Amino acid sequence: MSAVAVENTRNQPLVNLRGVTKLYKRGSETVEVLKRLDLAVPRGDFLALMGPSGSGKTTLMNILGGLDKPTSGEVIIDGQPIHTLSDSALSGWRARHVGFVFQLYHLLPVLSAEQNVALPLMLTKLSGPERKKRAMAALTLVGLEDRAKHKPAELSGGQEQRVGIARAIVTDPTILLCDEPTGDLDRKAGDEILELLQLLNKEHGKTIIMVTHDPHAAAKAERTLFMNKGVLGEEPEA
Partner 1 sequence: MFTLIWMNFRRNKGRTLLTLLSVMIAFLLFGVLMAVRHGFSGQRPESQAATLRMTTLNKVAPYSPMPVEYAERIAEVPGVKAVTYLSAFAGFYQKQSNFVLMFAVPSATVLQVYPDLTVQPNELKAWMADRTGVLVTPELAKQYGWRVGDRVPIGSAIQHKDGGTTWDVTIDGLINTRDGAQFSSQKLFMHYKYLDEARASNQGTVDTFVELVSSPSQTVEVSHAIDHLFINASPQTLTTTSNALLQKAYAAAGNVGAILTGVAVLVFLSMLLVVGAIMLHTARERLSEFAVLRALGFRRVTITGVVLSETILVCLGGGLCGLLLAYFLIGALQHVLAQQVAGVIMTGFAVVVSIALMIVLALLAGVVPALQTWRLSVRDALGAA
Q: Give residues in contact with partner 1 (CB under 8 A).
A: 58, 62, 65, 67-68, 87-88, 91-96, 98, 100, 102, 104, 106, 108-111, 115, 119-120, 122-123, 167
Amino acid at 57: K
Q: How far apart are CA 142 and CA 163, in angstroms?
A: 7
| Under 8 Å between Cβ of 191 and 114 | no
Q: Please name the helix (run of DSSP H) or strand (run of DSSP E) that holds residue 47, with its range, or none.
A: strand 46-50
Q: At its nearest, how many Å lie between partner 1 and the CB of residue 185? A: 17
Nearest approach in angstroms of CB 14 to partner 1 is 19
- The residue (of 123 and 219) whose beta carbon lies closer to partner 1 is 123
The dihedrals phi and psi of 232, each to the nearest 5 degrees, come to -95, 140
Q: How many CB atoms lie within 10 A of CB 81?
A: 12
**Beta carbon of residue 101, minimum distance to partner 1 (angstroms, whole number):** 11
Three-class SS state of 138: helix
Nearer to partner 1, 100 or 226 (CB): 100
| Dihedral pair phi/psi, residue 223, rounded to 5° | -150, 160
Nearer to partner 1, 46 or 93 (CB): 93
228 membership: H or E segment, kind and range: strand 223-228
Secondary structure of 148-202 in the HEC alphabet?
Answer: CCCCHHHCCHHHHHHHHHHHHHCCCCCEEEEECCCCCCCHHHHHHHHHHHHHHHH
Q: Considering beta carbons, is residue 115 or 207 the nearer one to partner 1?
A: 115
Residue (28 or 88) nearer to partner 1, CB: 88
Provide, for the chain, the percentages of residues in helix, strand and coil under a 3-state DSSP scheme, each rounded to the nearest 5. 40, 25, 35
SS3 of residue 162 by DSSP = helix
Least distance from partner 1 to the Cβ atom of residue 67, Å: 5
Residue number, 97 or 220, with CB nearest to partner 1: 97
Q: CB of residue 202 vs partner 1: minimum separation in angstroms?
A: 25
CB of 184 to partner 1, least distance (A): 12
CB 35 within 8 A of CB 230: yes
- Kindly state the smallest distance separating residue 98's Cβ from partner 1, in Å: 8
Comparison of 36 and 96: residue with beta carbon closer to partner 1? 96
